[in-house]
Chains A and B, each alone.
Chain A
Amino acid sequence: MSTYLLCLVLFCIGLYGLLRKRNLVKIIVGLAIMGYSVNLFFVLLGYRLHGRAPIDAPDQVIENMVDPLPQAVVLTSIVIGLGVMALLISLAIRIYEKHGTLDITKIRKLKG
């Protein structure tokens, strides 16, 4: 229970950065932190106390393994997160080239 709550607090810190900060890089950092906490939450849901990693060993009975399904889903999510992050960074670089600033309120005023 407390681990879930700490994970949610991490999500809220990312949300605060996303909503409150004005710098584009800070917004990207907040988005990345939200992504980390969601990945962690999925894996926490599939964890089993004193479990084993979901990899078979020879001459070992299958019991007490953690859930492999959230791990498989999160594995694709991590790589997609990298792709999305690279796309956002390239957008930020283009905006900095065009307007000379990363501050979103100034960009809105420029109407470029």
Chain B
Amino acid sequence: MENNKSGMTLFVKTSSRLVAVLGLIFGMHIILHGHLAPGGGFAGGVIIALSFVLLILAFGKDAALSKLSLKLASNLENVGALLFLIIGLLGFSGGAFFLNVLVKGSPFRLFSAGTIPLNNVVIGLKVGVGLFVIFLTLVILEKSKKEQ
């Protein structure tokens, strides 16, 4: 962040630093309230990916990679896919694949609906990190082309 050469001007950097944090919090809110309000894992995951994309566009590739490297991102994506499968397999303890085995709770509360909030969190992790990996691969390709 101290390196002022890479990335855009000071105004863009200062404002995007604020907006990226707000976007991250908003994405988490959308994911966690997916079973109560419009939204859910897909939309929240894409919003989280967009906040990281904003960091890349404002600060350049290296500053964003120091927060979340490509290897860590792809590992997190694999973990998301595996966790979704494991939650599906948990349903076998009740007798069927993807059965809602946890306690339902009362509707209109944050902790209700059994496995659906867990599934939302896992899907949000998978989609967000996956789209971030796609964008990062495109950016790294552009950079390597310029160096040659």
Contacts and interface: CB of A to CB of B under 8 A. Distances in A.
Interface in A63-82: 75-76, 78-79, 82
Nearest to B131: A82
16 contacts: A55-B37, A55-B38, A56-B107, A58-B108, A75-B40, A76-B42, A78-B42, A79-B42, A79-B46, A82-B46, A82-B131, A86-B134, A89-B138, A90-B137, A93-B138, A97-B145
Nearest to A78: B42
Interface residues of A, number: 15
B18 interface: no
A93 B141 contact: yes
Nearest to A79: B42
Interface residues of B, number: 14
A78 B41 CA distance: 13
Nearest to A85: B134
Given A58-B108, A93-B138, 20 more contacts: A53-B38, A55-B37, A55-B38, A56-B107, A75-B40, A75-B42, A76-B42, A78-B42, A79-B42, A79-B46, A79-B127, A82-B46, A82-B131, A83-B134, A86-B134, A89-B138, A90-B137, A90-B138, A93-B141, A97-B145
